[in-house]
Each structure stands twice: as structure tokens, then as C-alpha cells.
Amino acid sequence: HYKATLACKRIRGRHTYDVIGAEIEEIHSSYGLHGKVVATVTDNASNFAKAFRVCQPCNMESESENEEEGDDEEPTFTDVIEFLSTASGDGQFSLPPHYRCASHTINLISTSDVDKHLNSCADTKAVYRSSIAKCTALWTKANRSTLASEQVEEVSRRKLMVPTSTRWNSLYEAISRMRWFRSVKPTK
């Protein structure tokens, strides 16, 4: 089995499913891979999931599967507007089968479970919420103000690490960095 990353491309503007689908199709075409890619793995973002769901070629089931199911099968309806809106200027495009990244899924589960646990125990809930609120205020300030971010880096010679919801370990790393800041004497 071969695995490859074809491109890492910044998409300006809204990251809607149709924009993502068109970009992936363009990348496949630019490498001459149209129809050759057997699957694509992405994170669990709904825009990626919809791009692959809407832009899948019509899946034709094998005759043996159709025979086993019999004639009791419900009709399948296709939203014509949505189907036509996925067409590019030169015709309909399609994407390979989509798989959601297992690591990303596990990270989301663990993040959610840790948060549920910390908020469910009366002993930890108040301390956790208070501590996270203080950290969040600093993270927000540093994200919204270049000056504040630069001042933190100037005084400590390190940047604030801001957690993201897609990496469970980022919260740990961000809090560890906050604790490190407490142990360091300012350089100014």
C-alpha cells in the first residue's frame, strides 16, 4: 500500500464543502491522478465530510448484492440542486472514498471525556473552571493582540501555547507552558 501527501495548500475565503471538493479535484488533476486515488483520509470536519459525501461518484452495487436485497428496496432520492451545484466549470467532478482519521477521532473522544470528567466531579469542577477561565483569558488576549503576544515572548523568551480542539495534547502542553511561565523570573 502506498501513502502520500500530495499538497498542503492554503485556501483563502470560506472553506465550504464545494470549495474543498474543487480544490482536491484540482490537486488530483494537476498530478494526473484523476481516477487513480483509491481513498483520502482527512480530519472529522463537517465541510470535508460533506465534500466527499456530495462529490462521490454514484456507487453502483454489484448485481449479486442487488439480487440478495430483493425488490423491497426503498428508492433513493438525489437532491438535484445540490448535485448540480457540485459541478465545476468543465463538468461534474468526483472524489475518491473518504476515511476519517482514526487518530483525530480518538483525540476528539479523549478531549471530550476528560472535559466531562473534570466537570462532573464537584471537587474538581470549580478549580478546573476557574483555572481554565484564567488561562483562556490570557490565550484570548495573546491571540487578539500582537502587542500582548510579543510582550509575553519578550519577557519570557517563549510564546504562549494555545490549545486547539483537534489535538487533545495541546491543552496539556498549553497548561504546562503556563506553569513554566510561573516558575520563570522575567528577563526585564
pLDDT band with cut points at 50, 70 and 90 for residue 6: confident
Last residue of a domain, one of 100, 131, 166: 100
Which of 77, 100, 123 terminates a domain? The answer is 100
pTM, to two decimals? 0.51
Q: Which has more confidence, 86 or 1?
A: 1
Residue 135: pLDDT over 60: yes
**CA atoms of 4 and 111, how far apart (whole Å):** 28
What is the per-residue pLDDT across 55-110, written as a single tens digit (0 to 9) for each? 877 543 433 344 444 445 555 565 655 555 544 444 456 899 999 988 888 877 87
Q: Which residue in 37, 40, 38, 17 sits closest to 29, CA to CA?
A: 37
Around Cβ 22, how many Cβ atoms within 10 Å? 20
Average pLDDT, the chain: 79
Shared domain for 92 and 115, answered yes or no, is no
Please write down the HEC assignment for all residues of the chain.
CCCCCCCCCCCCCCCCHHHHHHHHHHHHHHCCCCCCCCCEEECCCHHHHHHHHHCCCCCCCCHHHHHHHCCCCCCCCCCHHHHHHCEECCEECCCCCEEECHHHHHHHHHHHHHHHHHHHCHHHHHHHHHHHHHHHHHHHHHHHCHHHHHHHHHHHCCCCCCCCCCCHHHHHHHHHHHHHHHHCCCCC
Asked whether residue 76 falls in the same domain as residue 134, the answer is no
Question: Side chain identity at 144, as an amino acid letter?
Answer: R
Widest CA span in the chain:
79
Task: Please tell me whether residues 65 and 121 are part of one structural domain.
Answer: no
Same domain, 37 and 69: yes
pLDDT recorded at residue 1? 66
- In order of 121, 162, 168, the CA distances from 111 in angstroms are 16, 15, 5
Same domain, 107 and 179: yes
How many CB atoms are closer than 10 A to CB 62? 8
* Nearest of 58, 121, 63 to residue 95 by alpha carbon: 58
In a domain, 31, yes or no: yes
Q: Do 83 and 115 fall into the same domain?
A: no
In a domain, 3, yes or no: no
The residue segments making up the domain with residue 132 are 103-183
Last residue of a domain, one of 100, 118, 133: 100
Work out the pLDDT band at 156, boundaries 50, 70, 90.
confident
